[in-house]
């Protein structure tokens, strides 16, 4: 057997392990890039998003990376990326596919989407797609809500493991290590389940040019909230958006002695 043939053989036997389909759904959100310092609009109606760089929410990138690694390890069979929002979210889905997601679904709407509405849209897609695991980012860095994964788990009646720093899937169970206020905890849960990612779960790869090209040819389906019969009307009205109190820079002290003197006599905090 030539080496190529052996490789093929190896691939086959690896594939045959995967007789049980294990689909992972990964929701990805298009947000202001994390390097951008946003400005509040003068009229208090929101933040200025004109001509601002948009990217995939960093926690969602970690989620895509984790799902793709599980597929590469032969644990998962398919990775489906989902985004809810404006037409440009297609770019976010292409990024997910460049990392390695197999296909994308866009739930397209120009309406403002709040976490409960997104969770309901994702539930409708889960009912249809029947994934074994949904891996979400723990929070989006725009609204900082930290809700969608937990809400989806609740609506599905599934277990959840939020703030994951380690995920293992085996024998119909997920074992997940979570970052909590006091340290770490490890949970075991039935599948299907929802996992949300923390920063230390993995370091996402950079998409290579060939993979970016390949991603352009992967299937991307578009649906509307109405096709899924979901009412996405917001429950919270934003009355105004304002700038937080500015902290002004203080003084540069000459040396340690002056610092201690200031802390004692000026700030009176030590």
Q: Is 199 in the site for other proteins (CB under 8 A)?
A: yes
Residue list 73-92, contact with other proteins (CB under 8 A) = none
Q: Which has the closest alpha carbon to 85: 117, 56, 107?
A: 107
Question: How far is the C-alpha of 54 from the C-alpha of 31, rounded, in Å?
Answer: 5
Q: Is 58 in the site for ligand FAD (CB under 6 A)?
A: yes
Contact of residue 179 among other proteins, ligand FAD, none (CB under 5-8 Å per partner type): other proteins
Q: Is 184 in the site for other proteins (CB under 8 A)?
A: yes
Report the residue number, 129 or 143, with the smaller CB distance to ligand FAD: 143
Q: Which residues contact 145 (CB under 8 A, 6 or more apart)?
A: 114, 115, 139
Q: Is 54 in the site for ligand FAD (CB under 6 A)?
A: no
**DSSP string across 55-72:** EE-HHHHHHHHHHHHHHH
Instruction: Say how many CA atoms lie within 13 Å of 62 toward its Cβ.
Output: 22
Give the shortest CB-236-to-other proteins separation in angstroms: 5
Q: Is 227 in the site for other proteins (CB under 8 A)?
A: no
For residue 245, count other CB atoms closer than 10 A to its CB.
6
Residue list 117-146, contact with ligand FAD (CB under 6 A) = 141
Q: Which residues contact 129 (CB under 8 A, 6 or more apart)?
A: 23, 25, 80
Question: How far is the C-alpha of 155 from the C-alpha of 67, rounded, in Å?
Answer: 22
Instruction: Please identify which residue in 6, 34, 145, 253 interacts with ligand FAD, judged by CB under 6 A.
Output: 34
Q: Is 240 in the site for other proteins (CB under 8 A)?
A: yes
Contact of residue 192 among other proteins, ligand FAD, none (CB under 5-8 Å per partner type): none
Secondary element (H or E) of residue 14: helix 3-17
Residue list 114-173, contact with other proteins (CB under 8 A) = 114-116, 119, 138-139, 141-155, 158-163, 165
Instruction: Please identify which residue in 17, 37, 53, 217 interacts with other proteins, judged by CB under 8 A.
Output: 37
């Amino acid at each position: 057997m030539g080496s190529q043939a052996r490789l093929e053989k190896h691939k086959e036997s690896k594939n045959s392990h995967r007789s049980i389909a294990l689909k992972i759904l990964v929701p990805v959100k298009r947000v202001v890039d994390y390097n951008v310092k946003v400005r509040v609009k003068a009229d208090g109606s929101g933040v200025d998003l004109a001509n601002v760089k948009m990217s995939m929410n960093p926690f969602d990138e970690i989620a895509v990376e984790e799902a793709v690694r599980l597929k590469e390890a032969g644990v998962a069979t398919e990775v489906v990326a989902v985004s809810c929002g404006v037409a440009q979210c297609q770019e976010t889905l292409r990024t997910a596919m460049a990392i390695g997601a197999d296909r994308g679904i866009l739930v397209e709407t120009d309406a403002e989407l709040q976490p409960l509405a997104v969770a309901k849209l994702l539930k409708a897609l889960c009912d249809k797609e029947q994934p074994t695991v949904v891996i979400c980012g723990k929070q989006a860095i725009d609204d900082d809500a930290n809700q969608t994964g937990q809400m989806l788990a609740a609506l599905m009646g599934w277990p959840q493991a939020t703030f994951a720093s380690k995920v293992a899937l085996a024998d119909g169970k997920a074992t997940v290590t979570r970052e909590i206020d006091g340290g770490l905890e490890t949970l075991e849960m039935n599948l299907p389940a929802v996992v949300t990612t923390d920063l230390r779960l993995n370091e996402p790869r950079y998409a290579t040019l060939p993979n970016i090209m390949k991603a352009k040819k992967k299937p991307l389906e578009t649906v509307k909230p109405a096709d899924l019969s979901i009412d996405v009307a917001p429950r919270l009205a934003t009355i105004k958006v304002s700038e937080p109190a500015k902290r002004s820079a203080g003084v540069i002290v000459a040396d340690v002695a002056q610092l201690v003197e200031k802390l004692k006599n000026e700030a009176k905090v030590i």
